[in-house]
Structures are given as C-alpha cells and as structure tokens.
Chain A
C-alpha cells in the first residue's frame, strides 16, 4: 500500500495546474473480520480496500472528492486524472470559500508499526478451543491500517499500524454476560488465556440470583470501559470549537464558566500517547497534547482548520467533526484493588450502553447499565444487576458527586469499524461516584 500511495501521490502532485493546490488523503486496510456466536463461527470476511480523498483548491475555491482505489497503479492513476479534471469543472460553479485554510509549512512524517498478526485460521482454532463449554459471542478484526497525506506542495505523511482487536462476551443467560477485550500488535496465546480465565471467573458471579434495584440514587463505580461510554458521548459535539462557539456543545456551561467539574478532572487530546495519526486530512500536524479540561475547568477546544479560520484561532489539527481521537482523562489516586472496599455498598458498573443526552444544555445524559454490573455490599460483590437506566448530569457525575478516580488507567482502542477500522483510542481511569441517579 505504501508503494501505491507514493506512486499515486507523485502522479497527483503532477496534475496540479498553475495556481492550483491539490491535497490528497489515503486510507487503506487489509482486514480479517471473524464473527463468533455460541462458540462457533457466524461469518468470516476479508476486506481489501483503499480510498483516495482529494481536494482541489484554486482562487480560494475548493471542491472535495473521494474515490475507491482498485489497487492497480495504472488504473488508479487514470481514475485520479479523471477525478481531478472533474473537480476542475466543478470549481467553476463553486463560490470562494472564506474558511479555507491549508498548511503554510511542510512537515513530513513516516510511522510504521508492523506487527505479528495471527492468521484467521489460528484465531478460529484458539477462540473455539477457549469457548468450549461456554456461550461465547465475539468479533475479531485484524490487519494493517494505512493512512497517508500528500499535497502538491510536496508534503508527505504516512502511517501504518498493524493491529488486532478481539472483543468477546461470555454469556450466562439472556442479557447477563462478561465482556472482555484483547488488542495489540502481537497475539499471545498466554495473554489471551489469562483474559479468558478472568472472564470465566466473572461469569461465575453472574450465576447468582440477580438484583433488581428501585429507581433512586446509589453509590456507583464506573469502570474505565463504562466511563469510555460517557466520554464517547461527550466527544459527540462536546469538545469541538464550532459546537462551542455556536452554543450547541453539551459542555456549554463549562465553557461559559457557569459550571465546573471536580478539580481532579483533566481531559486532554493526547495524540502523543494515542494510536491515531499525528496528522489530519488537510495535512496539519497535530500537537502532542491539546488541553480540553484542566482542573475541572474549560481549557480549550478541538479546532479543525475550517473552524479555526471561521473563528480566528489557530488550528490544532482536529478532524472535520472536531471529535477526539486520543482522549486522555488524568488518573486519580484510588488504587484499583481498593475499589470494592471504597464503594462499600452500591453498584459496580462494568459497562454502560446507548448513552444520549436528555437535556443537552444541562449536559444531562441517560443510558443503560450493561454486561457485568453488580450489586456490592460490605465491599464484596453479592449479586449481578438487572439492567437499569441512569439519567444524570456530567456536572454531578464528574463534579459534585465524584469521590475518586483510580490511580490505574486502561488504554481502550476503539473497536469501531464503520466504513473502516478506527485508530481512535482513549486512556481512562475508573470513577467512584457518591451518587448516580437511576430512573427505570
């Protein structure tokens, strides 16, 4: 793919006419996808795909396009030549773009993280063997992911990341399950077995009679995976410059300074320690870290080039949607091993699910408990929970009701495969809350 990328980048660079700038992006993957259900294989798919995105800019006007690549350099060169000609025609009917912003300096990069990924057959063998005697349902995605940027100014950026991500559930019955993940660049049978052993231990807890709670307020511990659902919802318009300036951000009161989170809450877009590329579509190189919330107060926004030009600030290399790709919530001080004792009596929320805003202005959100969530008494797990709905504001959850963040954090690679495999990730602690409001 790298050879194809550079060959096509050279070709497209040569297509730029006088006064034209061509900005190109490349996204490719070679993926194995294997779905499991009831400890058998449901579907096995391989996908080989590559997409070239192209922006033609001339006289302050811009047209964007994308096209699937065939993988044959000669055919793809012809296709891109035709596309550039088509965009040149389209520019004629396009108004100048007052918010156009392209890099004015050249900063090349090249990052390759080649892994030792398991063959599909080996994964099927391992998973089916590990799933004997239990009801395993899961999904394995593996292979290299390629991303590139090239501009007619000569800038080139490239990233290849090889990885696998296997997420699976062991089901006790109906909606009672333990969810586990194993991701990385080198598959280890021992590491996989250790995770499976832990999941089997938790599965045993789900066999106990389930507890149904009445609506009300409960002490609660959110694991990093559960908290990832909360920060994932915030990423949907919360941290973007445009949503903040147009008063649509759910964090509007934080931005205004009329509300604050707990002083221990510090949120950063931490590209330096994430998995996403250090450059974005137009070719802007991302800073190592962008502070978003510091000491519980608003500290900054993700600014795409377009928003940056519109609102007169510097871009920090955000994507067009201005959503985080490497979100980092600072660690607290509570050792993970002390979580149950500190919780004492309340709910241990292994996962949350299907969050949405019930009052966006107030950053009040709702969602469901899911998978391995338990009722805890005397610092010990006593029963699995039947699913419950919560409805509460962020200003309570990570503000007035935040008792502790854990000292240890998890790196949670995104398992999203919409359109293409994601390279986003988050690094989060768990959160102990004095109260979480359950409503149904």
Chain B
C-alpha cells in the first residue's frame, strides 16, 4: 500500500515551495474483563493522511481519509488554498523555514508478537486475574484490561524525503475498588489511567506483572479502606515513580513546551511561567535534577526516530544540574523563538497538525538507594500512584493526590494512609529535591492521554523516573 501511496502523493503534490504527506494507519484492540465478565472486544482501524503545504510564506494543512490520487490532489489543493490565505498574516514567515527532507526507518522493539496469543487466550489471562480480585465482599468493582495498538506511518516530502515508522504499543491494566460504610477506595496496579504503557509486544504484560496482581491489588484496596487519612502539615515526601510521572509531566513537561512559551496555547491549555530568557541560566531545581528528552529509550512509550515534521530525534538534556537548558520545541517553534529545541513536533493522528509535545521526558537516576531515602526522613509520607492532578495555566501552582500513602517516622516505613495529597509551586518545588533514587528505583511508565492543542489532541507520552525525596512539602488528606 505504501508504494501506491507514494506514487499517488508524487502525482498529487502541487508546485509549491514545500509539500509533505504524513500517512498514519492505526489498528487497535481493546479487551476488558470486568467483574469476571468479558466485555465485547473493541477493534478499530483509523487510516488517513495529512498534506502540508508551505508556499509564499503561508502554511496550510489538509487531512483526508481518501487516499486515492484524486483524494490526495483535492487535499493538497485545500492545503495550498489555506497557505495562500495565511501568507502574510501568520505569526511567522513560514517561507523562511528549512523543512527537513529526511530518510530513515524506525520500528518498536517487539520480543513477543502480540498475535502469538489468540484473543481467547488473552481473555483467559485477564479473567484469571479478575477472578483473583474477588477476595472480600467489600470489593465492589474490579477489572483487568489489555489494549494493543499497531501504528504504521510514513512521512513523504515532494523533494524526496521518506520516513517509515512502525509502532507496537501494549497497555495492560488492572484495578480494584473497595467500599464500606460510605468510604470508597480504588487501587490500581502499575499506574492509574493506563499508566503502564510501553512500546513492545506481549513482553510488556510480563513486565507489568499481571500474574498475581489481582489478589494483591484487591487486598491493597481493602488496606486503604481501613487506613487513617493522610495527616496535614509540612512534611517530607518520597514520591514513587508512578507519582513522579505526573509530577514531571505537569510541572516540567508542560511548562517547557515552547509553543506554550510562545503563547499558542493561551486560549486553551495555558501559558508557562517559563520565559525565553531563562534558558541557559534559570535554576529550575536543586543540583540533583537532571531531565532528558530521550526518544531513543528502548520500549518507552513515545520513542521514535523522527518527529512528525521529519526532524531526526535525539536525546537531549533539558535540565542538567538543576539548570534549565532547552525547551520542548520542534523545528517551527525553534525558528520562531530563536532557541535550540528538540524533535518533538507531534500529531496525535493523521487528522491533526503537529504541535510541540512531550515525548519521552525522563528524570535521570541519582545515587540514593530507596532504603537510604526512607532512612533520611524523620517525619514524612511516601506517596504512590497518581490519582488527582490540578495545576494553574502557567503550570506553577499545583495540587496532586495519590492512591496510596505510607507514613515514614524516624527513618522507617510506618502505617498506610489514605487520600494523600500535596500542593506546591513548580518554580520552587523542584529546588526542594533532596535525593534522587538510583537506577534500581526507576520505573518506565507514561500516559496515553496527554491532552493539548486546538483542535484538541490526546497523545502518547513516556516518563521514566526514579523515586525522589522532597523536603518541606504542604501535605494533607481527605475531607473526612
């Protein structure tokens, strides 16, 4: 099919300064067993292409699911018309851009083909764990799921650029909810909201640890039900990787997006407390904070070789030794801002134009062992698994909540606490980073649901992080 698409595109490309076609075909299957009942399988195929035209300083995009030569010609014509309308009225003279003409391939690492198991066998795996959740009448809801996706994409330029990238995504999930006497607590395994998401095949299910997770998760929900509320006060917090994923995402990732800094998102997703003059000098966090954009990490959810504007992707430090170095900005934003960025112009599907997104955004491991971080806390709370998130539109004042808390007193782990919440301000929070866990504490997770952009786009993002210790945080529990 790709060969015919290439021919059709070459025939359809108009005589303009730049023309590209981005084809995406995504095939997915979602399986869920809820309360031991298999739900109807959901299969989906989403296929189409976006034509990009730059001409006379204007930029236009047109998306179509008609992939015939005629369909692409019509789309290219609409993109050209839009470029003409935009020319001279745009935020940037797009004619000055030097768009890449890339060549290359990428494929997700897959150790075990997702099709090596039949759909019925996958259902059996989920059903087995679902059955294990039924440990107590107070478990009122539970489900296990498996979401697999294959994405074929091609980026072609009229000048001869050709990139093909094939992705395999596997997302297992499991949760259990306990209820008693007016109180409800939910515990998830591996991260709430499909947080355990990776590139790869069935080996991801093994890494998730599905086998045995049902009983353990249900028992953890019951343990939360019986736990006291998280205390209120200024305490040290030890954030586990499945909470760090959210902390990184909201208070480092989004504020460093260059399109937010340039103001594009102010009508919807918001602006940023970060300004262009901060890069190279601003102390974002303590000197323990090293943050990388790493599209080459094997198996991480948002790995790729080229972004959706054709820029080759490479690992870069965004923050090193606590100092802010570079933004999350793709080729177009870099040209507008005059700042070096990264290859992160990404679109969630064929029918959306690329914008600056996080991809894999990671905290590099430090030198502290988990037990040493616990020992270093006189009075604090360990918090795991993000549950709630809220942050202002400058990505500064935040309040986050977790599923699971555990008191730490005198350097030792103590009782489980429910409803652990904390709040802070991004611009100062990261400076209270007092210890960064070593590689043994690192987990690689992410989210399939990072929302942003107008029109709205929800995109896959990966985050790998060690456990991290923060001093003097405003902590509180539930309303009672």
Measured CB to CB, the residues of A under 8 A from B are 31, 33, 35, 37-38, 40-51, 55, 61-72, 83, 86-87, 90, 93-95, 97-100, 120-121, 124, 128, 135, 137-139, 141, 167-169, 171, 174-175, 177, 179, 246-248, 252-253, 256, 258, 353-362, 364, 366-368, 370, 387, 389, 391, 393, 416-419, 421, 439-440
Number of interface residues of B (CB under 8 A): 83
Select which of B75, B119, B351, B397 is within 8 A of A389 by beta carbon. B397
Q: Bound complex: CA of A185 vs CA of B192, how far in Å?
A: 40
Q: Bound complex: CA of A166 vs CA of B119, how far in Å?
A: 45
Q: Bound complex: CA of A226 vs CA of B205, how far in Å?
A: 42
> Ordered nearest first, which 8 A-B pairs have the shortest CB separation?
A362-B479, A417-B455, A139-B454, A246-B141, A247-B179, A359-B478, A45-B61, A62-B40
B85 and A121 form a contact (CB under 8 A): yes
**Beyond A95-B38, A440-B399, is A43–B388 a contact (Cβ under 8 Å)?**
no
User: Which B residues, 25 to 65, have Cβ-Cβ distances below 8 Å to chain A?
Assistant: 37-48, 59-65
Any A CB within 8 A of the CB of B233 = no
**Beyond A124-B89, A248-B141, A356-B388, is A46–B421 a contact (Cβ under 8 Å)?**
no
State the Cβ distance, B308 to closest chain A Cβ, in Å: 13
B118 CB contacts on chain A under 8 angstroms:
93
Select which of B43, B182, B393, B451 is within 8 A of A418 by beta carbon. B451
**Beyond A175-B271, A364-B479, is A358–B421 a contact (Cβ under 8 Å)?**
yes
Select which of A67, A120, A358, A419 is within 8 A of B388 by beta carbon. A358
Q: Residue on B with the closest CB to A138?
A: B267
A contact patch SS = strand
Q: Bound complex: CA of A45 vs CA of B353, how far in Å?
A: 7
Select which of A66, A68, A168 is within 8 A of B65 by beta carbon. A68
B267 CB contacts on chain A under 8 angstroms:
137-139, 167-169, 179
Any A CB within 8 A of the CB of B392 = yes
A135 CB contacts on chain B under 8 angstroms:
263
State the Cβ distance, B215 to closest chain A Cβ, in Å: 19
Measured CB to CB, the residues of B under 8 A from A are 37-48, 59-68, 71, 75, 78-79, 82-83, 85-86, 89-91, 118-120, 123, 140-141, 177, 179, 182-184, 186, 262-264, 266-268, 270-271, 349, 351-353, 355, 388-394, 397, 399, 401, 419, 421, 423, 425, 451, 454-458, 474, 477-480
**Beyond A44-B86, A68-B45, is A354–B390 a contact (Cβ under 8 Å)?**
yes
A93 and B120 form a contact (CB under 8 A): yes
B85 CB contacts on chain A under 8 angstroms:
41, 44, 120-121, 124
A97 and B39 form a contact (CB under 8 A): yes
**Beyond A67-B45, A68-B46, A389-B399, is A41–B89 a contact (Cβ under 8 Å)?**
yes
Q: Residue on B with the closest CB to A416?
A: B456
B65 and A50 form a contact (CB under 8 A): yes
**Beyond A38-B91, A47-B351, A356-B389, is A177–B266 a contact (Cβ under 8 Å)?**
yes
14 chain-A/chain-B pairs, Cβ below 8 angstroms: A35-B454, A37-B266, A45-B63, A45-B353, A48-B66, A63-B41, A71-B64, A87-B43, A90-B43, A354-B391, A357-B401, A359-B419, A387-B393, A418-B458
Q: Bound complex: CA of A68 vs CA of B49, how far in Å?
A: 11
Q: Residue on B with the closest CB to A86?
A: B43
A97 CB contacts on chain B under 8 angstroms:
37-40
